[in-house]
Amino acid sequence: MHELSVTEEMLRIATQHAQEAQAKRITSIHLVVGDLSSIVDDSVQFYFDFLSKGTIAEGARLRFTRVAPRLRCRNCGGEFAMRPMDWTCPHCGAAGGDVVAGREFYLDAIEVE
Ligand SMILES: [Zn+2]
């Protein structure tokens, strides 16, 4: 269900931009998806195919760029890749940190005709 609402929103934005550019058709949509966002590519594609029927985005290809999760250490401020089951800062050894990348989901670009 999560993917349904984000796909609706993504389609709305893409269609709006395409209409502003007076495009006849959207050929592809580039999306940036963080690995922590719990967005499943196949689900987005599934909802997109359903929702885009009869719109200028029908048949557009979705292209996903996945973003690996990163943390910022609360102790030293260093950034590091989040590893499974290990949130220890490799710079200073402190545990945990704030997520600075990996939760995003946004429309990066659209290609139109
Ligand atoms: Zn640190």
Looking at residue 57, the DSSP 8-state letter turns out to be T
In the predicted model, is pLDDT for residue 16 greater than 70? yes
Q: Is residue 6 part of a domain?
A: yes
For 27-84, how does the pLDDT look when each residue is reduced to its tens digit (9 = 90+)?
999 999 999 998 999 999 999 999 999 999 999 999 999 999 999 999 999 999 998 8
pLDDT of 86 reads 86
Q: Is residue 27 part of a domain?
A: yes
Q: Is residue 29 part of a domain?
A: yes
For 81-112, how does the pLDDT look when each residue is reduced to its tens digit (9 = 90+)?
998 888 899 999 999 899 999 999 999 999 99
Q: Is residue 75 part of a domain?
A: no
When divided into structural domains, the chain yields a total of: 1
Contact 13, 107 (CB under 8 A): yes
Q: Is residue 92 part of a domain?
A: no
Q: How far is the CA of 60 from the centre of ligand 1 (A)?
A: 43
pLDDT of 1 reads 55
Residue burial 93-113, b: 16+ Cβ < 10 Å; e: rest: eeeebeeebbebbebeebebe
- Domain hosting 36: range is 2-68+101-112
Q: What pTM value is reported for the model?
A: 0.85
Q: How far is the CA of 80 from the centre of ligand 1 (A)?
A: 9
Q: Where are the beta strands (DSSP E) in 35-78?
A: 61-67, 70-72
Q: Is residue 81 part of a domain?
A: no
Q: Is residue 80 part of a domain?
A: no
Ligand 1 is a single-atom ion; what residues have CB below 5 A from it? 73, 75-76, 78, 89, 91-92, 94
At residue 5, what are phi and psi to the nearest 5 degrees?
-70, -40
CATH number at residue 41: 3.30.2320.50
Contact 29, 105 (CB under 8 A): no
CA angle 34-54-38, nearest 5°? 15
Q: Is residue 73 part of a domain?
A: no
**C-alpha dihedral sign at 105, 107, 109, 110:** positive
Q: How far is the CA of 28 from the centre of ligand 1 (A)?
A: 40
